[in-house]
Amino acid sequence: MEEHFKGTALLPFVTRANDAPDASSINDILLAAVRDPAVYVFGELLEVPKVKEVGTTPAVQLVNIFAHGTHKDLSSNQELSNLLQSEAAERKLKQLSIITLSQAHKVLPYRVLLEELSLDHVRELEDLVIDALYRGVFVGKLDQRREQFVIDETIGRDIVTSEELSNTLEVLQQWRARTRAMMQSLGEQMNSAQTMYHADKEHIKSMQNVEKDRQTAIALEMQQELVTELSLGGEGRAGQKGAKRAKIRGKKKYDGEPSMMEM
């Protein structure tokens, strides 16, 4: 990560502010910091005791916008816009504004960016984004076909004010509560699904047992029918053989006796 994202590019200005002899020097240092193209974080500078002592001068207000605000905050204040007098610094603020917008939405339509950054042409917007991508301010992709900028990752902006921090903490607490509720709901659904799975499994097993018993009963019935058929068939053949033997014996007896005429 480049050093201006680590805050080291701001250190010379912090040192100068600590050694500044008066409020006028402090204001000059603050303006120099926001105009420096390598400085993207300003929180440590605002925490310098001598900077706090000068109060809310226009220079301090300007630094606060670069630390926490957006380009709209600057464009709505003509005095601060006149004080900045740096196209490069204004360009940097627009890039910082994109970071702020990305905190709510990772996909930013061109029309939204054009409006938020007070730009008239798509080419201006794309040049601004490409420059920031090259500098490593954020990581993302320009989708020219859909006219949107998809952001994957950004550098962090300065820690917000105590009021904004409280709001952020509240949002995080709400998110935690929603997450817990969702996890509980998912757990209940999983338990319910598991119960249904076991019930279905037992039902399937029961149906398989019923089918097995039915097939066994059918097999026994068929076996019994076969035994009966074989038994009846055997008795019939035995009767037929007995009748045939009796007939043969009768014939032989008849053939062996002399007739009345021969006597």
Instruction: Please say whether the beta carbons of 97 and 70 come within 8 A.
Output: yes
Q: Could you read off the pLDDT of 136-170 as tens digits, one per residue?
A: 899 999 999 999 999 998 888 876 656 666 766 77
Q: Which whole-number Å values give the CA distances from 214 to 34, 208, 210, 211, 222, in the listed order?
A: 88, 10, 6, 5, 12
Residue 138 dihedral angles phi and psi, to the nearest 5°: -150, 165
Alpha helices in 136-263 (DSSP H): 162-256
Instruction: Please say whether the beta carbons of 142 and 113 come within 8 A.
Output: no
Q: What's the pLDDT band for 120 if we cut at 50, 70, 90? A: very high
Res. 39: pLDDT tops 80: yes
Q: Could you read off the pLDDT of 219-263 as tens digits, one per residue?
A: 888 888 888 878 776 555 555 555 555 555 555 544 555 544 444
The SS3 assignment for 108 reads strand
Q: Which residues pair with 148 in a beta bridge?
A: 109, 143
